[in-house]
Structures are given as structure tokens and as C-alpha cells.
Structure 1
Amino acid sequence: MPGWQTFYQKHQNEGFELIAVAMDAQGPKVVRPFVAKANATFVTVVDSADGLWDLYGFDVIPNGYYIDERGYIRYLKVGGFDVREPTTTKILADLLAEKWGKKPIRVSDKPRLSAKKEIVQLTKQLKVSSRGVEKRLHLAELLVETEQYKKAGKEYDTILAQHPRQVRALFGRGVVYHREKKTDKALECWRRAYALDPGNWIIRKQIWAVEHPEQFYPAINYNWQQEEIRREEMQAAAQEKAKAQRR
């Protein structure tokens, strides 16, 4: 975050705005210390209902999007985005100076309904036809966003009754359990989701953040993360070896 603040201060008078989105099921309370420590003056919002996962389908963070004043995506990087990295800094600086020549990607300019109106609309649609996992997932995530946890839990349970291996539903159910202070059940759902999608960095980091908060708050210990990755890889290799020996 300090790197983002430095970049923002340098370019904020060039018609540039920076919006940071923190993805954390634990909500604003764990994000505020990072904002305060960086003395961030740019807008920071919290996605605690995995809405970005729903909208864009990525399973890694951090990501960077540069959108120009016409609503075109001029640059994007999924995973490993770091505004302090020289190549990234130059690309963004060139974009601000309009030196970037790649064909832009058009962003849909269709206005989004408010969460409450969208909930009403989706509920009506699902009454007509209960099929449609994506619609029900989106409804559940909107219910989490509007803090209707009991209803959200029922929607996730409906999905999981028919699709027990649905990763987003398992993760979302875990988010609801976490909001209801049922940490053990939340972790159980997240572990099941991660077992089905072991490359999903969002799930992995959420489990770590809840199990080892001292490694994430008030500062992220990246060395610990690398050590944990190595430990988990060694553990997985040992388990595979044991399975092979039993065959």
C-alpha cells in the first residue's frame, strides 16, 4: 500500500484516481490498519463477499486494472501486480501520458442495479426457474453483501445440495459461517473448497489469515508465506509417497 500511495501522490494531479479493493472475508476491521499505516489518501473499499471473484473469475491476487476516462480497460495484470515494479510503473506512466498503443478492451457501460433491486430481480427469476447455479451464486453473494446471512446460507446450501463440489459455493458458505462467528465451520468449508481448487490463492490466503492472524495483521509476513508454501508442498509430497507405498 505505501507503494500505491507514492504512485498516487505523484500522479493524482494528472486526472488519475486510484481505487484499491481489499478482498478479505473478515471485512473492514482488518483492512483499516493497512490503510492507516500507509497514510493512504486514495479510495479503499473492501470486498468481503467475493464479488470480484464473481464478476471477473480470477483466483489470484493482487491484480491491476487501468481504465481510462472513456471506460476502456487499457491495461490489466492478473496476479503479481506491483506498482513499484519498474516495467509496471513505466506502462502506467505512459498510459497517463497517452503513449500506450494497444487496442483497448471495452468495458460494459450498462448500469448495475442496486444490490437490493438485484436481489428482488434474481429471487423472482429463480422462482420461475430454480435452475441456474450462476444466478443463485450471485444472489447469495448479494445477500452476504447486504448482511442477510441467514438467507445467504440457505442459497449456498441449496447449491451445495445439488453441486457439493461447487468451489465458489463452498467458499461463500464459509464466509457466511465466519460472519456468524462459526470459525470452525468456515475453515471446514474453505478447506474443502481449496482441496477441490488447490491453485486458488484467494482461498489459500483466507485460510491462512484466519488460522494465523499474527502473520497478516497488522503487517503481512511474506517470508512466512513462502515458508508455509514449502512446508505444505513437502507435506503433500510425503502424503503422495505414503499413498504410493500402500498401493
Structure 2
Amino acid sequence: MPADIFARRFNNGLVFFLSVAALTAGSILITQYDVVAGFTSIAKAFAWGAHNFYPDHHAMARLPEILQKLWQTVLMSIAATTVAAIFAAFMAMLGSRTTRFNALSSILVRGLASVFRNIPLVAWAMILMLAFSQSLVTGYLALFFGSFGFLTRAFIETVDEASLDAVEALRATGAGYFAIIFQAVLPSCLPQMVSWLLFMIDTNIRDATLVGLLTGTGIGFTFDLYYKSFHFHEASLVVIMIVITIIVIEMFSNYVRRIIL
């Protein structure tokens, strides 16, 4: 029996590998991609980066301006994520099987969360640009809608996985709906919700750079402006500052998670 299971898994893995290999080969043939040229250009790309893509003294003179745009992007990401988390927490209570009013509210909330979550952030930015053009509002709303869909789904699963003992005990004593929410559900779910919130802030700070390229705002637009005007030293400084900011925020997020979880 173990030998049969191992053989079945091996055959399934072999079929999957051959399918991926066939799809890859077909894609190369259809797109006429030159594999050899692609791999040989990697060394040239690193050589060009070492020669051009590093901050010099002219780029360092632009550091205050870059830090201001980066700070603007970080604040926009935190604000959009935090406000989205508030709305997502409210919707999660309506969508969770533990705290829902009825089955219809749960279905509607879960469907709404799936729609918002499955629309890519780039698509949100492009859709919103039709109404708000290139502005901070467009970037903020794109991050808000993407965060709202993801956090609503994550919060629903968090509430569903919460222990029902406290909920059932309060219901047995005749406690009302809001008493159950604030005395049983939120205390047990809040640490995990905060963890999801910190994760979303990390993600949005990364994504805000891409949103800025489309909406003409924040650090993303600053990078695009320098890069397209061939100011590669300034563009490299923007990239370095983004990486440092993300690392610092991730370290802070991990520290907070260790405390609350």
C-alpha cells in the first residue's frame, strides 16, 4: 500500500512537471522568446547597474525631496489601510457565521469581499483615474478598496475560527448582540486582526510605489520622473530609500506581532 501511494504521487508529479514544461515550451515558441539572449543579457544588466544605478553626490542633494515624497506615500498607505480595516471589521461581523444577522447578510458580505479582493490594485487605480484623474485621492481609494476586500475576508475567517465557548456562555445568560461582540468576539480576535492589519500595511507600502506610477503621486511618481529623465543616480536613491523603509516597517511589524500573539 505505501508503495502504491508513492507511485501514484510520483506519477501525478511527473504529469504536472511535463504539463508545465509543455506550457513553457509552447509559450516560448508562440512569443518567439530568445532564451539564450535572455540569460546572456543578465550579466550586461548587472554591469550597467554597477556603472549607472547608484546614488552620487548630486543624488544625495535630492534626499530631502525624496524623503518627503516617501513619507507622503507611507502616510497614505497607513491611512488607507487603517480606515479600510475599520470598515472591514464591521463587515466581518455581518459576514461571519458566528456573528451574522442571518444567512443572507453573510452571503452578501462574502460576495462583496470576493469582488473587491479579486480586482487587482492596478485595475482599481485605472478605474478610479477615470473619475478622479491623477491625484492623491485616486491612490488612496485604490489602496482602500484593495485593502477592504482582503481584510474583510481575513477578518471573517478570523472571527469564524474564534472560540465559541465565550459566545455561547454570553448567549446563555441572555446577553445582547453588541455585548457578545465587544465582550467575547473582539477580545479573542483582536490580536489576529491587528496582525492582519500590519501585514496589509507592509503590502500597501510596497504597492503604493506602483500606484504612484499610475496616479502620478508619491514616491512612485518621483522614481518614474527620475528614471524617464535619465537621472539614474537619483532613481537608485529612491529605490534604496524604499527598500530601507520597507525593512524598517517590517521589523517593527514583526516586533508588534511577537508582543500581541
What is the TM-score of this pair, normalised by structure 2? 0.30
RCO greater where, 1 or 2, for CA within 8 Å and sep 6 or more?
Answer: 2
Write 1 or 2 for the structure with the bigger share of strand: 1
Over alpha carbons, which structure has the higher Rg? 2
Write 1 or 2 for the structure with the bigger share of helix: 2
